[in-house]
């Protein structure tokens, strides 16, 4: 299977998506990793820096090809076409579920997405939304740890959706699971609410990603995209600590199911996959300029886009927020 898949985090299954195509946009600066490469960064760090060099070379080659084939095109989207291990059909389903559980456990323990609470709360207030439709929800993602601060005492319902709904998910007050499959690119018109998607947007190729944004825009629904993965030296180096975090977090969650215990400590497949796919997620991520490019042409007086990065711990969070104006 190639990258041309849209990914569902609930069961970890991949779905066919539209073919990936380039797009036009503003230039993205090249990556200079010379300074970091001269330091002592360890074997995993050297691996990540080697990947960065490969990104830089690919980007330069891509720009040269575009200039040759399209003389009027200054640049194109810089997102790289890669794949992740647990996206693949050959990857065992039970291991995929364990990897997803471990990943979501780390998000919750580290409160990775807490820095974006003010942004999301403000967007909900501006759009006067009392309902959130969370896309590609998986096991709920970071919402359980964000709900209280985002709602801030106001009425708010979060509806978890997925192409393969996780109907076994445990939900508390303020949450519910939509039992029918939902394609994030074409949300049913009767499923109204402000849309959110955490750490899944990079799984969609540019055409599918734009379709997702265009659908929200056309129906004048708000949408907020949040990604911790970034194609930068700092984030790639930070990913090298993921295996240690996975081991530490698993210890804090004891007692663990036997399978997760075995594949975390005895055969550390879960920490290894989290590290490898973490690096690959960064390579597949959309930059701020890429996100701006995806919204080109989706403009109206009653709809506002906001793109940027919010300082986080340990890495910044990239965001794209579309808000309908009452």
pLDDT of residue 217: 98
Residue 261 resides in a domain: yes
**Sequence-separated (6 or more) residues with CB below 8 Å from residue 3:** 20, 81, 82, 83, 205, 284
Residue 56 resides in a domain: no
Q: For 250-257, what is the mean pLDDT?
A: 91
Weakest-pLDDT range from 48-52, 229-233, 285-289: 48-52
Tell me: pLDDT of 163 over 60. yes
What whole-number percentage of the chain has pLDDT above 90? Answer: 52
Under the banding of pLDDT at 50, 70 and 90, the label for residue 317 is very high
Task: For residue 200, give the 3-state DSSP assignment.
Answer: coil
Q: For 172-188, what is the mean pLDDT?
A: 93
Which of 46-55, 74-83, 189-198 ranks highest by mean pLDDT?
189-198
Which has the higher per-residue pLDDT, 271 or 172? 271
Residue 157 resides in a domain: yes
Give the domain CATH number at 312. 3.40.50.150
DSSP sequence for 156-185: -EEEE--SS--TT----TTEEE--S--BTT
| pLDDT 10s digits, 139-161 | 788 999 999 999 999 999 999 99
> What is the C-alpha to C-alpha distance for residues 186 and 166, in angstroms, rounded to an integer?
19
Residue 182 resides in a domain: yes
List Cα–Cα distances, 139 to 99, 102, 161, 162, in angstroms: 12, 11, 10, 10
Tell me: pLDDT of 28 over 50. no
pLDDT of residue 303: 97
Strand order in the sheet with 175-177: 175-177, 157-160, 131-134, 194-198, 223-227, 317-324, 303-310
pLDDT of residue 65: 52
pLDDT of residue 321: 98
**CA nearest neighbour of 138 among 287, 1, 9:** 9
Domain assignment of residue 153, given as a range: 1-18+83-326
* Structure tokens belonging to residue 22: 């380039």
Under the banding of pLDDT at 50, 70 and 90, the label for residue 34 is very low
Which of 25-29, 137-141, 173-177 ranks highest by mean pLDDT?
173-177
Contact between 132 and 156 (Cβ < 8 Å): yes
Residue 277 resides in a domain: yes
Q: For 246-269, what is the mean pLDDT?
A: 93
Domain tally for the chain?
1
Residue 70 resides in a domain: no
Contact between 107 and 116 (Cβ < 8 Å): no
> What is the C-alpha to C-alpha distance for residues 50 and 65, in angstroms, rounded to an integer?
23
Tell me: pLDDT of 175 over 80. yes
How, if at all, do strands 194-198 and 223-227 pair? parallel
pLDDT of residue 299: 92
Q: How many residues does the chain have?
A: 326
Residue 10 resides in a domain: yes
- Mean pLDDT of the residues in the chain: 80
Q: For 229-252, what is the mean pLDDT?
A: 90
Tell me: pLDDT of 252 over 80. yes
Residue 37 resides in a domain: no
| pLDDT 10s digits, 292-303 | 999 999 999 999
| pLDDT 10s digits, 71-124 | 333 346 667 777 788 878 898 888 988 998 898 888 888 888 999 999 999 999
CA 26, 211, 290 angle in degrees (round to 5)? 20
């Amino acid at each position: 299977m190639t990258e041309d898949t849209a990914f569902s985090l609930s069961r970890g299954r991949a779905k066919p998506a539209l073919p990936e195509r380039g797009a036009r946009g503003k230039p993205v600066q090249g990556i200079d990793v010379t300074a970091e490469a001269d330091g002592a960064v360890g074997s995993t760090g050297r691996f990540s820096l080697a990947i960065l060099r490969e990104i830089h070379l690919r980007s330069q080659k891509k720009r040269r090809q575009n200039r040759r084939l399209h003389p009027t095109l200054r640049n194109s989207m810089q997102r790289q076409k890669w794949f992740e291990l647990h996206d693949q059909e050959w990857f065992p389903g039970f291991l995929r579920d364990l990897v997803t559980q471990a990943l979501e456990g780390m998000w919750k323990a580290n409160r990775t997405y807490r820095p974006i609470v003010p942004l999301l709360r403000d967007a909900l207030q501006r759009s006067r939304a009392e309902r959130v439709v969370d896309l590609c929800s998986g096991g709920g993602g970071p919402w359980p740890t964000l709900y209280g601060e985002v709602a801030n005492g106001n009425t708010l319902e979060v509806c978890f959706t997925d192409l393969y709904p996780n109907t076994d998910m445990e939900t508390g007050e303020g949450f519910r699971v939509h039992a029918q499959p939902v394609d994030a690119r074409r949300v049913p018109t009767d499923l109204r609410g402000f849309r959110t998607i955490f750490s899944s947007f990079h799984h969609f190729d540019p055409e599918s990603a734009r379709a997702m944004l265009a659908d929200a825009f056309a129906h004048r629904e708000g949408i907020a995209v949040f990604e911790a993965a970034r194609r930068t030296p700092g984030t790639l180096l930070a990913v090298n600590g993921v295996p240690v975090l996975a081991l530490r977090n698993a210890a804090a969650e004891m007692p663990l199911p036997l399978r997760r215990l075995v594949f975390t400590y005895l055969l550390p497949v879960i920490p290894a996959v989290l590290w490898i796919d973490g690096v690959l997620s960064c390579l597949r991520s959309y930059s701020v300029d890429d996100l701006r490019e995806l919204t080109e042409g989706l403009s109206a007086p009653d709809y506002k886009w906001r793109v940027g990065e919010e300082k986080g711990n340990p890495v910044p969070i990239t965001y794209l927020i579309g808000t309908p104006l009452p």
